[in-house]
Every structure is written in C-alpha cells, then in structure tokens.
Homo-oligomer: A and B are copies of this chain.
C-alpha cells in the first residue's frame, strides 16, 4: 500500500444503501468509514465490546467529510485509511474510492477520543492497540 495508508479494504455498494436520488445516502458514508475503522481495529486486536466492558469507549468527537463522486448500486468501494495521534485524539484520514476508475468518492478526517468511565481520557491500552501496530 502506498501513500502511508496503513489499512485498506473493499466491498460492494448494497442497493438498500441508496436513497431516492439513486445514490448512496449521505449517512451511509459514515457507516462505511466506521466499518473500515472497526475492521482496522479488529486487525489490531481491538475489541470494542471488550473495551466497553473495561469501561473504555472509543467515541467519535469530530468528523469532516467531503463527498466528491456519488456512489451508485453495484459500485465497488475501495476504502483506505491512515492514523495518527494529536494530543488525546486519534485522527483517522479516510478516503473512499470508486474502484472502477479510482475516483475519490469521499474524503474524511475523523477524530476519535477515549472515554474512560464516562470521562474523556488517555488510554495506553488504546494507544498500544491503535498506534504501535504493524499490520
């Protein structure tokens, strides 16, 4: 993988993800981005349910998302991500491409934070899982 991406995966647009306008509904992009992050987390051995049981939730604090080329039924989506830490935030740079022509469909920056027993915090456990992994 080039361009510093640390993880990528792909899947096919499902018809029910498209709305009246015949294109993937805006909210579905957030599902796509979340789905990618979670697959990445799985690869690093991070289990959100286990963390939740430990009192740690990794929650979305802020997202910026630009939609470029609309995705349609049948399109293959290629999803790539980078990750780095800024203070207590885990910043995911995530790009979704339409696989057929490699056009960028969605460009997002997603900031996640650890909430430990209900309070914003810094978790070494999460650091080790997310940042020191060599997939």
Contacts and interface: CB of A to CB of B under 8 A. Distances in A.
Interface of A: 14-16, 18-23, 25-31, 34-35, 38, 42, 48-49, 52, 57, 59-67, 70, 73-74
Number of copies of this chain that the complex holds:
4
A66 B61 contact: yes
Given A62-B64, A62-B67, A49 B73 contact: yes
Contacts of A21: 48, 52, 57, 59
Contact of A14 (B18, B38, B67, B73): B38
Contacts of A20: 15, 18-20, 22, 48-49, 52, 73
Contacts of A70: 59
Contacts of A60: 26, 67
25 contacts: A14-B35, A15-B48, A16-B19, A16-B25, A16-B27, A16-B35, A18-B19, A18-B20, A19-B20, A20-B22, A20-B52, A21-B52, A21-B57, A22-B49, A26-B60, A27-B30, A27-B34, A29-B30, A49-B73, A59-B67, A60-B67, A61-B66, A61-B67, A62-B64, A65-B65
